[in-house]
């Protein structure tokens, strides 16, 4: 079955290169990925996948694709990302992620025609901002899956690990203008409320657990030094290892802003300016299957690293709360590059980057095949998932 999948993927090598290059050289921001989404759906449709787009309640660039063997069996899902970053384009390699998952799905579906099962592909816009996996997960889209699979480009092979749960909170303070020198007593300083919020949060830091991260900016803080600002805003990310930890910390952060509003007399409005991300819960049994496939493809054990820490936040975390999931990393460059840089963008467009993507696609396809072919492995994955469900969900 693996040979059948590999032959299918290799036979479409030129097509996959063309798609990954097109997406990479025509970067589109989150929820604006119309051409990228179209490229991927056209590719999948050409190979027998049924496309659903638009999806109720989801961004216009989201989609699902499905290919059934016509026989009962495993339900395998592959996640596509294809949004770019402002100014620096696909500096996170999403042009590779989207194409890689589509390629893996095509190869996996080819192999499952004999054994049974169904392959799904999910087009998930805006991972860098308002990740659509959040609303797709909330809609119940992933509960039926035996496995949700994706792999991220990197300068190393890294096993799937963790990510931080995160809330994105915006505080808007409304005060009253006044001449800052002639009549300051008539003003209500919205910027003072923002600064007091920062001070309160800084005092809060010593009373949270070590995994908590709170960091913020001031997008708006006034227009002239001699005018008391009547409007100011602050934005914060509140992160921790689990959703259970984040929730009460976020409430304490909000209380810092409420106290600042009370102290200054400003009116406060609170909103989420991006979706909340849950922590990534890697299914270790599923992760072991993927690592095994890397070995099958010639990657030596010493080349595959354990994730040291999950310092960022992923909308894949919300998927992992609904079904067994992994988010490993595959090498696309031998250079020690970091994502979200121009250099990483160039690596994602290089021939070496494409070769890394092709290997990742095969590893993902092989993982889906083993899950579908081995009922005992599938059951082990399921039981681990049921045992790790977060009490906070």
- The pLDDT score that the predictor gives to residue 307 is 84
For range 277-304, the mean pLDDT: 97
CB atoms within 10 A of CB 57: 10
Cα-Cα-Cα-Cα torsion 87, 91, 92, 96, nearest 10 degrees, comes to 120
Q: Which ranges constitute the DSSP H helices of the chain?
A: 2-11, 13-25, 34-46, 94-115, 132-138, 190-204, 243-264, 284-296, 316-320, 342-348, 351-373, 375-388
pTM: 0.93
Of 24-28, 148-152, 249-253, 311-315, which range is least confident?
A: 311-315
- The pLDDT score that the predictor gives to residue 389 is 73
Q: How many Å is the Cα radius of gyration of the chain? A: 23
Q: What is the pLDDT of residues 212-239, one digit of tens each?
A: 999 999 999 999 999 999 999 999 999 9
SS3 65: strand
Please tell me the CATH code under which domain 1-163+278-389 is placed: 3.40.630.10
pLDDT at 309 over 80: no
pLDDT at 247 over 60: yes
- The pLDDT score that the predictor gives to residue 64 is 98
- The pLDDT score that the predictor gives to residue 392 is 43
- The pLDDT score that the predictor gives to residue 393 is 42
Query: Which CA distances in Å does 73 have to 111, 363, 374?
Result: 13, 20, 10
Domain ranges of the chain: 1-163+278-389, 165-272
Percentage of the chain with pLDDT > 90?
96
pLDDT at 176 over 50: yes
- The pLDDT score that the predictor gives to residue 6 is 98
- The pLDDT score that the predictor gives to residue 273 is 96
DSSP string, 38-60: HHHHHHHHHTTPEEE-S-TTS-T
Residue 213's beta-bridge partner residues? 239
Please tell me the CATH code under which domain 165-272 is placed: 3.30.70.360
For range 43-55, the mean pLDDT: 98
Q: Which two tokens stand for residue 197?
A: 């919020």
Largest Cα–Cα separation, the chain: 83
Do the domains 1-163+278-389 and 165-272 sit in the same CATH topology, yes or no?
no
Residue 51's beta-bridge partner residues? 65
- The pLDDT score that the predictor gives to residue 388 is 82
- The pLDDT score that the predictor gives to residue 322 is 97
Q: Which two tokens stand for residue 367?
A: 């993982």
pLDDT at 114 over 90: no
């Amino acid at each position: 079955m693996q040979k059948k999948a590999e032959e299918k993927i290799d036979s479409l090598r030129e097509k996959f290169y063309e798609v990954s290059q097109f997406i990479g050289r025509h970067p589109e921001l989150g929820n604006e990925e119309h051409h990228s989404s179209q490229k991927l759906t056209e590719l999948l449709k050409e190979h027998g996948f049924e496309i659903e787009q638009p999806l109720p309640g989801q961004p216009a660039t989201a989609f699902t694709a499905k290919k059934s063997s016509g026989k009962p069996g495993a339900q395998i899902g592959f996640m596509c990302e294809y949004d770019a970053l402002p100014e620096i384009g696909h500096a996170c390699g999403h042009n590779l992620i989207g194409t890689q998952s589509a390629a893996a799905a095509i190869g996996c579906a080819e192999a499952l025609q004999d054994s049974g099962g169904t392959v799904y592909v999910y087009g998930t816009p805006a991972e860098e901002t308002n990740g659509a996996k959040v609303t797709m997960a909330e809609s119940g889209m992933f509960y039926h899956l035996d496995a949700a699979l994706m792999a991220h480009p990197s300068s190393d092979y890294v096993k799937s690990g963790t990510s931080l749960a995160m809330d994105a909170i915006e505080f808007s303070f409304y005060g009253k203008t006044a001449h800052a020198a002639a009549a300051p007593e008539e003003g209500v300083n919205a910027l003072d409320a923002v600064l007091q919020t920062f001070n309160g949060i800084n005092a809060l830091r010593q009373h949270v657990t070590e995994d908590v991260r709170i960091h913020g900016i001031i997008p708006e803080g006034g227009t002239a030094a001699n005018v008391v600002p009547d409007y100011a805003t602050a934005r914060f990310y509140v992160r921790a290892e689990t959703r259970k930890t984040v929730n009460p910390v976020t409430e304490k952060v909000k209380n810092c802003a409420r106290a600042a509003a009370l102290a200054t007399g400003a009116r406060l409005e609170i909103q989420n300016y991006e979706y909340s991300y849950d922590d990534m819960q890697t299914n270790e049994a599923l992760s072991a299957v993927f690592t095994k496939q890397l070995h099958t493809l010639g990657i030596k054990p010493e080349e595959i690293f354990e994730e040291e820490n999950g310092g960022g936040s992923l909308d894949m975390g919300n998927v992992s709360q609904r079904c067994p999931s992994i988010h490993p990393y595959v090498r696309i460059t031998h250079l020690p590059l970091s994502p979200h840089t121009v250099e990483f963008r160039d690596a994602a467009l290089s021939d070496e980057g494409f070769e890394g993507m092709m290997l990742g696609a095969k590893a993902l396809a092989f993982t889906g095949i083993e899950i579908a072919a081995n009922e005992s492995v599938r059951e082990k994955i399921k039981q681990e998932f049921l045992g790790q469900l977060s009490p906070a969900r």
